[in-house]
Chain A
């Protein structure tokens, strides 16, 4: 089955530790994205990548880092510099469709709790 996998589903870390969230897709999509979801704030874009070895900051990139060494993989590192890291993190991918439309497909999410 084609899709996006995120692991783990739940992640617990102590304050001051970096943590890496995994995202893998087998949809052969060029573009991948990371969003953060907090109650009452919808989705906020952290980073996105349109092609391998290239990525751009989204709206809330501070305290996060990414890499895109393979088309299938787009891991997100939450660093100790991120002030409020506890959140639900969603990975998505897309290909450019007709009319230059970017229809996104989402993974199941990772809930990160930092104490």
Chain B
């Protein structure tokens, strides 16, 4: 079946540090890939997405590149802020006929300290 693997964290960084949160996946075919962000006590918000190999999704200074050869979709940001503290979920949606459920990773908690 499909799966998404990401570290649980917490990842603790100082403000303005570089962020990488790793995400690797297992799926047949060519799934679409997503990063969602969840702030404390809230629902998930779509942060960025990529629908085919070598696509780069970007939003609010975050970016991730769909790497088919390494089955990865790592999230990066050049300079984090305290307001980026949240839980980040990697997810995939299979793109093969009929409905198949979205698979989420376990979520990685990011703590940014001033």
Contacts and interface: CB of A to CB of B under 8 A. Distances in A.
Contact of A58 (B99, B101, B104): B101
Given A40-B8, A42-B89, A43-B89, A102 B42 contact: no
Interface residues of A, number: 28
A98 B51 contact: yes
Closest 4 CB pairs of A and B: A106-B43, A42-B106, A101-B32, A106-B44
Interface of A: 4, 6, 31, 40-43, 45, 48, 50, 58, 90, 92, 94, 96, 98-109, 111
Contacts of B104: 42-43
B95 A105 contact: no
B99 A50 contact: yes
Interface string B73-107: 00000000000000001000111111101101111
Contacts, number: 62
Size category of the binding interface on chain B: 20 to 34
Contacts of B8: 40
A62 B70 CA distance: 37
Contacts of B42: 108-109
A100 B89 contact: no
A6 B41 CA distance: 13
A100 B36 CA distance: 19
22 contacts: A4-B43, A40-B8, A41-B106, A42-B89, A43-B104, A43-B107, A45-B101, A50-B99, A58-B101, A92-B44, A99-B52, A100-B98, A101-B95, A103-B34, A103-B46, A104-B44, A104-B102, A106-B36, A106-B45, A109-B41, A109-B42, A109-B43
